[in-house]
Amino acid sequence: MSTENATTQPLLVVEGISKRFRGLKAVDNVSFTVPRGGIVSLIGPNGAGKTTTFNLIAGVYAPDTGRVVLDGIDITGLRPDRACHAGIGRTFQIVKPFAALTVEENVLVGALRRHPNVEAARRESRAILERLGLAEKAAQPAQGLTLPERKRLETARALATGPKILLLDEVMAGLRPVEIDRMVTTFRDLCRETGITILLTEHVMRAVMALSDRIVVLHHGQKICEGPPEQVARDPGVLESYLGHAAAADASTGGTH
């Protein structure tokens, strides 16, 4: 996090988005921003609406209300492929590799967006595989990878599309501590070297604390806190939601930015 970010426009602006599924308000008037080149984490207990928020930004669902603006362009409700063209690169909570294709081909599919020529796309893919430490496995079928490798492949594929912002959906889930640390280093390096912006949802606090410039906390679909990690960690409303105390309805009205 550097001071120059404070003077530039945020890359992603989420304004008052809501989504209702058959009577259940999964996301309720959520607003936050993601600074250019920064790493922001979206956290909250299960069912808080994190993945739905992601899906609203990435275009899987259209929000009932509100706007999503990426780099000055309104991308609200754009189909996922159009959202990708606008600069969204996302991974999925449950990894979705192209199983019958090789590792390199998986990334190639992403790279083809910006490099219609297969050879050029292939070069780009190899570079990205190098960066994510998957280069030796390039010719292997994606099916045969371990879980951490698949997560990395998913990230590589998203990166290959040349996104402005990388949306990582619980990318640390199911990984062992050693693997988590490795992923954290990878993303930190990525951010530092390429200046890419990252928005991630996570349960794994270790990763959240290590990576984030800012944290946004959701609970029951509403934002209850936003700020730097140390501040959020001490916020009473956040502690309530995580420790599940039955009390205080002011948890939903407290903690704002």
Partner 1 sequence: MTTLPAPAKAAAGLPLRSRIGLGLFVAAMLAAPFFVGDYVLSVLIIVLFSAYLGQAWNIMMGFAGQLSIGHALYVGLGAYASAALFVHFGLPPWIGMLVGVALATLVGSAIGALGFRFGVQGVYFALLTIAFAEFTRVLFDHFDWVGGSGGLFLPVTNRGGNDLVNLRGSPVMFYYLLLAMTLGVLALCRALLRRRIGYYWLAIREDQDAAQAAGIDVFRCKVLAVALSAGLTAVAGVLQAFYNNNLYPETTFATGRSVEIMLAPIIGGLGTLFGPVLGAFALTALGEGLTTLVGRLAESGYGLHLDGLKPFLYGLTLVLIIAMQPTGLWPWLCRLGASLSGRNRRRRAVAGTERRA
Residues at the interface with partner 1 (CB under 8 A): 58, 60, 79-81, 84-85, 90, 92, 96-102, 105, 108-110, 112-113, 116, 118, 121, 139-141, 143-144, 157-158, 160-161
Closest CB to partner 1 among residues 101, 175? 101
User: In which residue are the tokens 């502690």 written?
Assistant: 239
Q: Least distance (Å) from partner 1 to the CB of residue 167?
A: 9
- Cα separation of 74 and 52, whole Å? 19
Nearer residue to partner 1 within complex by CB, 15 or 105 = 105
Shortest separation between residue 86's beta carbon and partner 1, angstroms: 10
Alpha-carbon span 134 to 154, nearest angstrom: 11
β-pair type (222-227, 214-219): antiparallel
Helix (H) or strand (E) holding 39: strand 39-43
The least distance separating partner 1 from the CB of residue 208, rounded to whole angstroms, comes to 23
CA 151 to chain centre: 13
Q: Which helix (DSSP H) or strand (DSSP E) does residue 89 occupy?
A: strand 88-90
The nearer residue to partner 1, 1 or 118, going by C-beta atoms, is 118
Whole-angstrom CA distances from 90 to 20, 49, 198, 238 are 22, 17, 10, 26
CB-nearer residue toward partner 1: 138 or 217: 138
Cβ proximity to partner 1: between 88 and 180 the closer is 88
Report the nearest approach of partner 1 to the CB of residue 257 (Å): 30
Minimal distance, residue 121 CB to partner 1, in Å: 8
